[in-house]
Amino acid sequence: MSDHPLDAIFDRFITSPSIFKNHEVLRSSHIPERLPHRDDEIQFLGKMLGSALRNNRPSNVFLYGKTGTGKTIVSKFVTKYLRTRAASIGNSIVVSLLNCVEVDTDYRVLARLCEVVGESVPFTGLPTDEVFKRFKTKLDSKKQLLIVVFDELDKLHHKSGDNVLYQLTRINTDLKRAQVSLVCITNDLSFKETLDPRVRSSLSEEELVFKPYNATQLEDILSDRAIEGFNEEVLNPAVISLCAALAAQEHGDARRALDLLRVAAEIAERNSEEVVNEIHVRKATKQIEKNTVEEVLVSLPVQSKVVLWSAYILEKSSLKIITTGDLYKIYLECCKITGLDPITPRRANSLLNELAMLGVVNTKVVSLGRYGRTTKVSLSVSPREIRNILCDDYHIKKVSDFNADHLLE
Ligand SMILES: Nc1ncnc2c1ncn2[C@@H]1O[C@H](COP(=O)(O)OP(=O)(O)OP(=O)(O)O)[C@@H](O)[C@H]1O
Ligand SMILES: [Mg+2]
């Protein structure tokens, strides 16, 4: 018998039964065979895009709804099957699914479209107009329909404006053989209003709103996935209802419900327990919250980190109320020590508002009686967490021991 220090751990993996039958099924990237409670949306999109099978150009369609309501999965589900059916009748339908979180510049969009129609272009370097021209020529070299799905379109628009969208909404008038249809998706309900009116009306020839799921619907979604994802009798019957109820309380987000279920089961498995129960779900809630905060903080631009760090320093100081004026004072000191060029108070305030939108700080306008009004700032995340995460940053490290008390009276 070997007595390797890992034997006890590895033996448990080998001998005790696993909770998961198929872990992949419980991830957001998996496309299940059925999508409960999205029949109407699937039918709607199927009818719209299905006209391509008769060689008609489908109208452009705009899909919106809050996060986790199934917009991405429904579009993938419908376009995947459309491709299968089109291939079976020898119809040339090309689908390009663009995730605008990554494909966020005109060049990237056009390069991806070139790729999907078989035109090779370098990753960078060509003028955008040239890439567009090459794409159009190649696309129109044969009779085909290209469906472009812009998922999270607001991200592209926010970064790069609506140039490429405008070009694509006009392209059909120049094409002789090929045609293009657009499916645009966003969870930013006010986004459409920010589009140029000409682009807006072309993009939303048809519209579909995805409503949040309620707790019962989320239970059905989870139960379906659980059958494929877990071994039998490993879930306490209350677990699915609890995950569904918690996610429904937030805003009917199926991703959240699935994450809760998966993480709860992971926690149970890590503790070598055979059944997932409510305690694991409660622990999963905490872990998911912690992960999201960490993701948000790590990815902040450096100036936002310094603004947030200034709020952290003040929270630790003897001040009772943190005002934006004091915060800017500390911010300037931090810039001096770190060697960063300071931004204006106005810009710092707008970064502060962004931090408030991300749920990292709280801002509230308060009256100071005859001294007018000011904005009061407080942290919405535990100072310990902010310290743990931000101190990994090269600039913040330099001000990690900065104490503000001598600057405040
Ligand atoms: N009806 C459903 N049946 C099964 N799984 C679903 C259903 N609706 C959503 N899901 C799952 O929930 C998760 C979130 O769905 P999806 O990614 O489609 O949301 P979304 O509306 O695109 O959200 P966001 O706006 O944040 O991108 C995915 O893992 C998806 O598989
Ligand atoms: Mg999505």
Could you read off the pLDDT of 338-391 as tens digits, one per residue?
A: 999 999 999 999 999 989 888 899 999 888 777 778 889 999 888 999 999 999
Kindly report the protein residue whose alpha carbon is nearest to atom 4 of ligand 1. 35
Centre of ligand 2 from the C-alpha of residue 284, in Å: 22
One-letter amino acid for residue 122 of the chain: P
Could you read off the pLDDT of 1-42 as tens digits, one per residue?
A: 568 989 888 887 777 778 999 999 998 888 899 999 999 999
Shared domain check, 164 and 46? yes
State the Cα–Cα distance between residues 130 and 136, nearest whole angstrom. 10
State the Cα–Cα distance between residues 158 and 154, nearest whole angstrom. 6
Centre of ligand 2 from the C-alpha of residue 209, in Å: 13
Shared domain check, 385 and 266? no
Domain that holds residue 367: 300-407
One-letter amino acid for residue 15 of the chain: T
Could you read off the pLDDT of 39-62 as tens digits, one per residue?
A: 999 999 999 999 999 989 999 999
One-letter amino acid for residue 221 of the chain: I
* CA proximity to 180, closest of 111, 99, 118, 93: 93
pLDDT (mean) for 245-269? 93
Kindly report the protein residue whose alpha carbon is nearest to atom 29 of ligand 1. 28
In a domain? residue 337: yes
The bound ligand whose nearest atom lies closest to the alpha carbon of 151 is 2
Question: What CATH number should be reported for the domain holding residue 219?
Answer: 1.10.8.60
pLDDT range class, residue 173, cuts 50, 70, 90: very high
Shared domain check, 133 and 67? yes
pLDDT of res. 377: 93
Question: What CATH number should be reported for the domain holding residue 371?
Answer: 1.10.10.10
Shared domain check, 232 and 142? no
**pLDDT-above-90 percentage for the chain:** 70
pLDDT range class, residue 123, cuts 50, 70, 90: confident
* CA proximity to 84, closest of 46, 133, 41: 46
Shared domain check, 182 and 46? yes
Q: Mean pLDDT lowest for which of 52-66, 91-105, 395-409?
A: 395-409
pLDDT of res. 373: 82
Centre of ligand 1 from the C-alpha of residue 245, in Å: 17
Statement: the pTM of the whole predicted model exceeds 0.85: no
Shared domain check, 368 and 351? yes
pLDDT of res. 193: 85
In a mutational test of the pocket of ligand 1, which residue from 26, 72, 155, 258 has the highest number of ligand atoms less than 8 Å from its CB?
Answer: 72
In a domain? residue 370: yes
State the Cα–Cα distance between residues 276 and 187, nearest whole angstrom. 32
